[in-house]
Structure 1
Amino acid sequence: MENTFGKICRLEDVLPLFKDNQSILYGGFGGIGTPPGLVNLILESGIKDLTLIGNDTGFPDIGIGKLVTQRRAKKIIVSHIGSNPNAGLLMNNGELEVEFSPQGTLIERIRAGGMGLGGILTDIGIDADIVRDGKQTVSIDKKNYLVEQALTADIAIVYADMADPYGNLIFDKSARNTNPLVATAGQITIVEAMRIVPLGSLDPEDIIVPGVFVDYIIPSKGVDWKWVWEPEIEIK
């Protein structure tokens, strides 16, 4: 596959990047902002034993919840699983390892991973066994903190409203949620975009994620697709 800007491709072009036992960071909150086409691609690929990292497990048939329901994950790192009873059932049956992280802490761990930091210090959960268990603590100015490890992944999947050919991204309202930080923390970042616009179309002041973090851009299958090229760029 060749195209003028290199990053724009189709779903089938990124399929070989997904493999068993990978870690995958995903954007989204309750399924909103989780890339539907990429989730379906992972389902259709048959890959399994994944470590999934994101805010939650969506719903049984919405968002990343589809992968959890189909038992494609061996471990999840999330802030909660309450909206997906299948995740709770698998956890209680010993079929799914769940690492809970307070939501703000989880987001900061992802941010730290994207910025190349080793971790963060926080006192959130220091008195809760479920949060503190097995973690290092440090004392600064007579106050104790947990050392929370930064989070990165083999692949980050992101859902954007608009992308230009360089991968500069804008998000749609609340679908922005965790996507900007997730985009920075993958060894490979794949963006599913509802619209791909020509270079120069995005106001620099509106860009949320700069293209330096983005490796691949695919048009979303979750919406009616319309190319917005002027002139049109052919993908072969």
Structure 2
Amino acid sequence: MDDLITKIKSVPNEIWWRTLSYIISAFFLVPNITMIMFLIYMGEYDFFSYDFFTEGIFGMKLFFVTTAFFLLISSLAIFSPVLLIVGKVKKKKIDKQLIALSILFTLITWSILILEFISGADTARIFFVLGMCAVIITHISVLIYFKAKAQFISLGAITFCIVFMSFNWSAQSSKVISIGLQAFGVGGDLSITITNAQSGVKTKGKLKLISPKFIYFTPSTEKGVASYSLSNVGYYVVDKK
């Protein structure tokens, strides 16, 4: 036991602080930032689901992880050369095959983005995602190559930037959250048909969110978001096309 304590004490403080910054980034920053974006999503469509946050913890975390994973992969696919450039500046040895793969995937990704622009895609959403990815890749670079002090400064900076962007461009932020919801067929403006359990009457609309107790959707014949109690639902069909 004494040997273990001695070994722990022998670990430089810098390593402990860097480890703490990694833990905060992974288990505090990511889930809380994604939750803020989720609240903005609800605010954008003028509804709030209490039961989603109190009873849908597993589903909520799953959607958060899906959205965070999308942003992380997008950041690496779009801006991975930034990591290599920063590594070169910090005089780190980088494998040539890794450089080639990074450049190849980045070129493919940017080619797809250019085609999206040409085809008339939602440019506001694309620019928003690019901005988010630029902030994320900067933080990843700091986590990899810089000391603990810089990492904690980066934590504060990335939190401010993402929250600021999400509040100021709430429509685009909501579309990013929609990606996770659409992946599981529980929201994101997918088409839905709800059949009443008693009368058999069908109601169609655009799905915003399925929570443990309610379906939140925009009826095809009305404006605004309506809630439909799952206790009154015979069955529902979500079109993911």
**Could you state the TM-score of these two structures normalised by the residue count of structure 1?**
0.23
Greater radius of gyration (CA):
2
Q: TM-score, normalised on structure 2?
A: 0.23
* Structure with the larger strand share: 1
